[in-house]
A and B are shown apart, each in its own frame.
Chain A
Amino acid sequence: MYDSKTVRRRRVVLGLLVACSLILLTASFGGDGGAVGSVQRGFSEVLNPVQEGASRALKPIRDLFGWFGDTLSAKGKLADVTAERDRLRKEVLRYQDAQSENQLLRKQLNLNQSLGLDQYRPIGARVFAQSSTVWYATVKIDKGSSNGLRAGMPVIDEDGLVGTVSQTTSSAAVVTLITDHTSGVSARTTTGRVPGVVKPSSAGNPGSLLLALTGAGRIQPGDRVVTRGTIESRYPSLFPEGLPIGQVTAVEDPGSDTQEVRVRPFADLRRLEDVQVLTNVRGDGS
């Protein structure tokens, strides 16, 4: 069908394309990619406004599809949510008592350690792109180093912890979600204050996390999991204390060495829209 010259030319081009891919892969793998990484960030910088514009233009369609999905999902969740509400009502009564007692004690001890987020100088950002493969749980936000964002800063939404800033360009940043395989968050439960590390349960699973316990204690389904914060001042944590992460959904083989604590994140990591980046976690004014 083709003469030998054409076939040879096609094979040479294919070989060149494969070689280019392998060279790029080798050059950009690991670390920040050096010179190739800088070029990549430069191109990304150019593409950011286009992607952001497209994301805004497509938002109504996304919302429309999302509305159908949410309606179906809400129907399925109704029974669970009703049971949860009843349980929470009882809890609220208990907490109100505890809160008034707590306020009294705080006054007595002259402590003023509110967990208000304002002290961490939150910066609002919008998610405009998301990784299309299950192997990377990352999103891109429309604020970057020019807004004071740096790698390592925690990112939250209205429901809880979302992840950390992993890379920045001047106008955008990549956020690595808590379900990414590279993520690990020092955490504790609110009821028994049982410490552990929150890790992803498996690749491509945005609805489930694992709490690997680092201390003894009793955990039950329904317990809430929050960030543990800095324990040792020499090794400050990336996350302030008390940021909500999720809720324990199941404890498999409780008390044994193979115990697995499954946690459902509060934040809907598949549908992130608006997030906040905490830019001053250590309170040092930097």
Chain B
Amino acid sequence: MKALAARVVAFGVVIGIVQITFVSQFPIAGGTADLAPLAVMSIGLLCGGLVGASFGFGLGLFLDVSLLQTLGVTSLILVGVGWFAGRVRDSAADTEEALVPLLAGAAATVTMSVAYSIIQFLLDVSAPVSGVLLRQLLATLILNTLLALPVHAIARRWLSKSLPQEPKRRRRQPTSAALSPLQQGLRAQGTRRTSLS
């Protein structure tokens, strides 16, 4: 458990530093990627909602402290993102399927963008809004969707040795319990004929 915690913390610090010193300074198509929601989503999917939410809180705090922004805003949103990813893990049949991190990454980015905008307006930020902002948010969404799988793959690889082995979900075996007595009789007859011939 301690090894997992250490690896999760190291992952968060690296993601935070790479985000503010590299990814944020590298615009593509008018927008920049945001690794924070993707990283939190991946941790939530791999380790569950509790670890995801805690990781989101820590990463949000790290970003707000580093950039001397209003504390708590990013943390609050990323706690929600981490928890949401954990719920996806609990309810999805197979989180290893490529589509799950992809869709969860896109959803995490949309949640982050919308929630951040709402909180900024609640905090009385008087920034004028135009189509450029929407274009930037759209560019961020597309970039993040493209990066969701690589970030998830890196997170899974980094944490794979420390993750507790989950018992494989049992696939439900077909049983005869659902068959009517008539169907059961026909099946039994079919089996007998096959064995006689």
Contacts and interface: CB of A to CB of B under 8 A. Distances in A.
A18 B132 contact: no
Contacts of B57: 17, 20-21
Given A54-B18, A129-B67, A1 B132 contact: no
Interface stretch (A43-51, A74-82, A190-198): A43-51
B191 interface: no
Contact of B128 (A36, A138, A181): A181
Q: Interface size bucket, B side?
A: 35 or more
Interface in A254-273: 270-271
Contacts of A55: 21-22
Contacts of B21: 51, 54-55, 58, 128-129
A27 B53 contact: no
Nearest to B14: A54
Interface residues of A, number: 57
A21 B72 contact: yes
Given A58-B18, A202-B132, A205-B130, A135 B79 contact: no
A62 interface: yes
Given A134-B136, A138-B67, A18 B76 contact: yes
B53 A14 contact: yes
Contacts of A95: none
Given A44-B66, A138-B67, A181 B130 contact: no
B25 A271 contact: yes
The 9 closest A-B pairs by CB, nearest first: A25-B72, A24-B72, A181-B127, A202-B130, A203-B127, A21-B76, A28-B71, A55-B21, A24-B71
Interface of A: 1, 10, 13-14, 17-18, 20-29, 33, 36, 40-41, 43-44, 47, 50-51, 54-55, 58, 61-62, 65-66, 69, 127-136, 138, 140, 167, 174, 181, 200-205, 208, 270-271
